[in-house]
Amino acid sequence: MSNSRQTIQRRIRSFVKREGRLTQGQQRALEDCFPVYGIKLEQGQLDFDDLFKRKAKRVLEIGFGNGTALLEMALNNPENDYFGIEVHRPGVGNLLSQLEEKGIRNIRVSNDDAIEVLNQQIPDQSLEMVHLFFPDPWHKRNHHKRRIVQDEFAQMIRAKLNVGGCLHMATDWKDYAKQMMLVLTRAEGFSNKAGVGEYMHRPEHRPLTKFEQRGKNLGHDVWDLMFIKDN
């Protein structure tokens, strides 16, 4: 078949790399610490017991920003293991610096596309919780198709969660909160922890992120949604 007749399908990405300049500390952390804490896509499917050298509850955070919230959760819950994904290298470098400084051992980090990591690296029924805090809202209507929370995403997360596991989302964009609610309410195999159509108050385990504080300063409300995998 000629190139002119071939149909090439490209997945719509839910992010763009608005990467600022790396500080010297972030660059050093990427070079020196990523080999210790980092996971590359080419490593293939992961064995978490082997990766962390123990059995524990595993928590995935998609889009950890500068890593502050992820670090706080790992420090407060040393009995859990955390796997964080972030495409922006300054944020990854910042978290790696903190991991080295504090000697944290229950976090591993990926700098790849979350959808590719989920597809290729996260085993089915291996996670107790998935966090998606303040994802890019893509607020223009013609960009809504780029939002990560879609029907296929919900079922992908369902496959990775253990029965009884939780998808916890938070956003300060009301329109996106409504979309999250719609997608997860109609998703097979999930139930709303707060009750049908209801949002959660911020649970104690979710730290107050800089994005949330910024939104509060602008007068934005925040919506938390927690959906439990039933089957």
Identify whether 136 is a catalytic site residue: yes
d(CA 186, CA 181): 9
d(CA 67, CA 96): 9
Q: Which amino acid is at 199?
A: Y
Q: Look up residue 190 and give its two tokens.
A: 């999930």
Give per-residue burial for 200-212: e unless 16+ CB within 10 Å, then b: beeeeebbebebb
| Three-state DSSP state, 102 | helix
Radius of gyration of the chain (CA): 18
DSSP 144: G
- Residues 112, 113, 136, 230: which is the catalytic one? 136
Q: Are 39 and 116 in contact (CB under 8 A)?
A: no
DSSP 83: E
d(CA 48, CA 25): 29
- Measured in residues, the chain has a length of 231
Give per-residue burial for 6-24: e unless 16+ CB within 10 Å, then b: eeeeeeeebbeeeeeebee
Q: Which amino acid is at 200?
A: M
Catalytic residues: 136
